[in-house]
């Protein structure tokens, strides 16, 4: 099978779906790899590195897609890109299918089979395929570095002849993969770290990293599915905001990470909370691409409002493209090798990983989350 990797076209995207090391791994399994010229340059992978690893370079994107049995991407292809794929070929990328109906429609219409890496079940045997976690881990690290850069003071306690500098206070909202890495990074830099999460089971993880857990009494409205929060009531969010408001006023940095798959990000930081913060404080909103956890954040902009710097960087993993691409490449290679051999796909339709990640196949929508959207 021919595995094709096009250059990513999304704004501010520096990652590539397959590293030269990934090419070596797939070539050893008998797959043939074709790479669009220059696809890896923003991740610091030269064209020569790909050819040395065993790949063939293709200059023209249309030709690349027309040859491909399988297309590997990071971001969902634009509908017009997907339309270039040949009938019965396979797409593997982040798709966020429930919120990307046009792409799903093109895949159905053109008989393109699509697997979405964001839909891979979060089970132990799929850990090496978990691209959401690998990318979120890097995003959590980079969020602290960016916020520290915007802050006009240092993180650690510092005693000098001229006086003592108090440590910075960092408030992290959400203790998922990104949040936990943000806690660890902020602690390493010497900050006092407080953490809020609506899942009580995260308390132990937060404390093990040296963070102080801010506990909000849970209620029956908190719905969990596959390790994610799927929904919470307005009443619960109000309680959370009231408690967080006190801690926000004392924070030097707030990092928000809360997302609900397929829905707009919940508002955690109101304008009143921003106004209560100290002059020169920083908010980094990791959910800005999904509407934002802070009402004043702006997509891909760093703005100052009420004396507070608000960072709205939408693609944090892309700011660490070398590591992000290496990890994503390992994720997607493991995923592909699980699903297929060099002769073709296994089509084990009831197997847990296949069933959980398969979005479209043979002109039909198969994934339940997308079927609901289609019916709606």
**Active-site residue flag, 118:** no
The three-class DSSP label of residue 297 is: coil
**Active-site residue flag, 127:** yes
Catalytic residue from among 127, 207, 221, 301: 127
In angstroms, rounded to a whole number, what is the distance separating the alpha carbons of residues 26 and 20?
Answer: 10
**Angle in degrees, 0-180, between the axes of helices 321-339 and 20-28, rounded to the nearest 10:** 20
Question: Is the alpha carbon torsion for 198, 201, 204, 206 positive or negative?
Answer: negative
Question: Is the alpha carbon torsion for 184, 171, 203, 220 positive or negative?
Answer: negative
**Active-site residue flag, 207:** no
Catalytic residue from among 27, 67, 118, 122: 122
347 Cβ partners below 8 Å, 6+ apart?
Answer: 354
Catalytic residue from among 47, 188, 228, 276: 228
For the record, the structure tokens of 248 come out as 């926000």
355 Cβ partners below 8 Å, 6+ apart?
Answer: 349
Helices (H), 256-320: 271-276
**Active-site residue flag, 130:** yes
In angstroms, rounded to a whole number, what is the distance separating the alpha carbons of residues 118 and 122?
Answer: 10
Catalytic residue from among 93, 133, 143, 281: 133
Q: How many CB atoms lie within 10 A of CB 178?
A: 28
Kind and range of the H or E run holding 23 = helix 20-28
Question: Is the alpha carbon torsion for 149, 153, 156, 158 positive or negative?
Answer: positive
Judge contact between 196 and 247, C-beta under 8 A: yes
Catalytic residue from among 69, 89, 130, 325: 130
**Active-site residue flag, 133:** yes
The residues annotated as belonging to the active site are 122, 127, 130, 133, 228
């Amino acid at each position: 099978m021919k595995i094709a990797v096009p250059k990513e076209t999304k704004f501010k995207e520096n990652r590539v779906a397959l590293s030269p090391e990934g090419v070596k791994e797939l070539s050893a399994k008998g797959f043939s790899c074709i790479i669009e010229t220059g696809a890896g340059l923003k991740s610091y992978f030269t064209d020569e590195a790909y050819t040395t690893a065993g790949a063939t370079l293709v200059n023209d994107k249309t030709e690349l897609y027309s040859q491909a049995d399988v297309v590997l991407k990071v971001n969902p292809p634009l509908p017009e890109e997907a339309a270039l794929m040949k009938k019965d070929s396979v797409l593997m990328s982040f798709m966020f299918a429930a919120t990307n109906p046009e792409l799903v429609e093109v895949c159905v219409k053109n008989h393109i089979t699509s697997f979405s890496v964001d839909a891979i079940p979060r089970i132990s045997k799929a850990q090496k395929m978990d691209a959401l976690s690998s990318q979120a881990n890097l995003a959590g690290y980079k969020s602290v570095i960016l916020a520290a850069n915007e802050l006009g003071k240092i993180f650690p306690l510092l005693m000098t002849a001229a006086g003592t500098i108090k440590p910075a206070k960092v408030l992290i909202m959400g203790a998922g993969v990104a949040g936990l890495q943000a806690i660890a990074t902020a602690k390493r830099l010497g900050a006092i770290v407080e953490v809020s999460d609506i899942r009580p089971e995260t308390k132990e993880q937060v404390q093990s990293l040296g963070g102080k857990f801010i506990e909000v009494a849970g209620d029956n409205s908190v719905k969990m599915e596959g390790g994610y929060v799927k929904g919470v009531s307005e009443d619960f969010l109000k309680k959370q905001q009231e408690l967080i408001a006190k801690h926000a006023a004392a924070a030097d940095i707030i990092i928000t990470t809360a997302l609900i798959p397929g829905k707009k990000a919940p508002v955690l930081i109101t304008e009143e909370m921003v106004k209560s913060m100290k002059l020169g404080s920083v908010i980094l909103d990791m959910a800005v691409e999904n509407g934002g956890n802070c009402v004043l954040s702006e997509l891909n902009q760093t703005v100052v409002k009420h004396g507070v710097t608000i960072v709205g960087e939408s693609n944090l993993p892309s700011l660490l493209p070398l590591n992000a691409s290496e990890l994503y490449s390992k994720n997607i290679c493991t995923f592909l090798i699980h699903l297929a051999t060099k002769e073709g796909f296994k089509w084990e339709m009831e197997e847990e990983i296949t069933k959980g990640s398969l979005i479209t196949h043979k002109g039909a929508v198969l994934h339940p989350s997308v079927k609901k959207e289609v019916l709606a």
